[in-house]
Amino acid sequence: MSINYSEKIPNNVNLSEDRTLQRALEQWQPNYLNWWNDMGPDGSQNFDVYLRTAVSVDPQGWAQFGHVKMLDYRWGIFLNPAEQDRKIHFGDHLGDDAWQEVPGEYRANLRRIIVTQGDTEPASVEQQRHLGLTAPSQYDLRNLFQVNVEEGRHLWAMVYLLHKYFGRDGREEGEALLERRSGQTDNPRILQAFNEQTPDWLSFFMFTYFTDRDGKFQLCALAESAFDPLARTTKFMLTEEAHHMFVGESGVGRVISRTCQVMNELKTDDVAKIRAAGVIDLPTLQRYLNFHFSVTIDLFGADESSNAATFYSTGLKGRFEEGKRTDDHRLRSDSYKVLEVRNGQLVEKEVPMLNALNEVLRDDYIKDSIAGVGRWNKIIEKAGIPFQLKAPHKAFHRNIGALAGVKVSPDGKVISAAEWAAHADQWLPSASDRAFVASLMGRCIEPGKFANWIAPPVMGINRQPINFDYVRFN
């Protein structure tokens, strides 16, 4: 389980025993570092950052903390230990041995799945690259950098699979992953949410809460894969992912805390007064939530999808917690309800479950993400403020599948284009909301100090004090 750090590329896959692969990855490594230099955190390459690095894949004590420069971070290849005699537990191959190599007939689909997942990892680093310049505290700056280096490592995880199992095509995909750019028109990232901007820290916290959680669900589905190396690598990625969602949930929670504190001090719910006091009003938080929730649930893909059926039946991608479900794990005679618009109304329609597996995963995701919204509401309730945040209806502001382009209000009513236009600024962040939030962003980096719009965390990282020097600026 331990990781070999004496090699150029830290790994627990006996890389040195496969010279060709080692050489290919060692050729990719400088290109990766160039990409990090160009597209990684802006103006921060010289900082010493209190980062955790994976030193083992043992869930007890897998990480080690210390100050390092991000360029010196030991990105490497870490797979969860192999499960002996692992069997495929869903789809047409149920009961067969898990695959240690890629079956020829599934090569193209598997490559596509790995590339799509891999592409999101560097994309989010690119989206977040300017945020360090406006960090609300050293603690937050460190968390941003931690998320960034681990997304970089997740790219390594996918590139390892491409190099090891997909030959020349895999190496070409590995290069292309370093060439696409978030938000660029001629060579954008594959999925739309990863081409959106993350222009301010409220967006960052919403992104890590909602969009990194999409990552969790995709990784959980891939951790079930019949292709064992993919299952093992995604399982370890999930270990790292938990912190990203923590950054999002606690970040939004701290913004809420601070806002509620100011509302109580001023005894007001007047947005203008709250904004004048330099904190983010709750209706603006709601609009950011609406945006990130809706953009993220699009990532699960079309509600009816024959690809989703193929990926499942062929054993490439399972459901969330496949092993805990008690059905037949083939789903050929099951059905599932998806939404469509009929006569100007949202109605449910029964479809074969195999074709609705994107929707199944989306619904699991929605359940999980709504739970955190409930925890945020507890903070507001405790402060005695009569306001509740709410996840919008899943048909709101959608761009993929049967609901794409249909105008639906956050509470799930189909409306006209004119009604939408009249209300859009109440439902989604307006240009002036974004400008207001941007106006609050300024660098606050003295140890233990926090920007006015966010409360300090309850605890520091790795039991360090809150005023610890998480980042040394040199």
Is 49 in a helix, a strand, or coil?
strand
- Rounded to an integer, what is the distance from CA 334 to the centroid of its chain? 30
Q: Does 216 bind Fe ion (CB under 5 A)?
A: no
What tokens were used for 395?
A: 């048909």
Closest CB 215 distance from Fe ion, rounded Å? 5
- Between residues 76 and 215, which has the closer beta carbon with respect to Fe ion? 215
The amino acid at residue 222 is L
- Of 122 and 315, CB closest to Fe ion: 122
Give the contacts of 442 (CB within 8 A, at least 6 positions apart): 134, 451
Return the number of the residue (89 or 244) whose C-beta is nearest Fe ion: 244
Choice from 154, 319, 407, 434 touching Fe ion (CB under 5 A): 154
Alpha-carbon distance 379 to 253, whole Å? 7
Residue 259 makes CB contacts below 8 A (sequence gap 6+) with: 274, 279, 280, 281, 282, 285, 453
CB of 14 to Fe ion, least distance (A): 24
Residue 247 or 274: which CB sits closer to Fe ion? 247
Q: Which stretch binds Fe ion (CB under 5 A): 208-216, 299-307, 436-444, 463-471?
A: 208-216
- The DSSP call for residue 66 is E
Kindly write out the interface string for residues 101-140 of this chain, putting x where it contacts Fe ion by CB under 5 A and - elsewhere.
Answer: --------------------x-------------------
Shortest approach of Fe ion to residue 10 CB, angstroms?
18
- Rounded-to-integer distance, Cα 156 and Cα 36, Å: 12
Query: How many whole angstroms separate alpha carbon 253 and alpha carbon 83?
Result: 38
User: Phi and psi (nearest 5°) for 4?
Assistant: -85, 110
Looking at the Cβ atoms of 191 and 379, the one nearer to Fe ion is 191
Instruction: State phi, psi for 384 to the nearest 5 degrees.
Output: 80, 25
User: How many chain residues interact with Fe ion (CB under 5 A)?
Assistant: 7
Does 212 contact Fe ion by CB under 5 A? yes
Residue 191: CB minimum distance to Fe ion, A = 13
Q: How far is the CB of 315 from Fe ion (least distance, A)?
A: 23
Indicate the residue among 90 and 205 with the shorter CB distance to Fe ion. 205
Single out the segment in contact with Fe ion by CB under 5 A; choices: 5-13, 188-196, 214-222, 363-371: 214-222
Say whether residue 235 binds Fe ion (CB under 5 A): no
Residue 157 vs 354, nearer CB to Fe ion: 157
Q: Does 244 bind Fe ion (CB under 5 A)?
A: yes
Question: Rg of the Cα trace of the chain?
Answer: 23
Q: Which stretch binds Fe ion (CB under 5 A): 21-29, 148-156, 327-335, 385-393?
A: 148-156
408 bridge partner residues: 414
Least distance from Fe ion to the Cβ atom of residue 73, Å:
15
Please, what is the minimum distance in Å from the beta carbon of residue 353 to Fe ion? 28
Q: Minimum distance from CB of 151 to Fe ion (Å)?
A: 5
Q: Per residue, what are the HEC states of 85-110?
A: CCECCCCCCCCCECECCCCHHHHHHH
Between 212 and 303, name the residue whose CB sits nearer to Fe ion. Answer: 212
Least distance CB 410 / Fe ion (angstroms): 26
Query: Distance between CA 352 and CA 332 in Å, rounded?
Result: 8
Q: Is 48 helix (H, G, I), strand (E, B) or coil?
A: strand
Residue 29 burial by Cβ neighbours in a 10 Å radius (0-12, 13-18, 19+): middle
State the residues that interact with Fe ion by CB under 5 A: 121, 151, 154, 212, 215, 241, 244
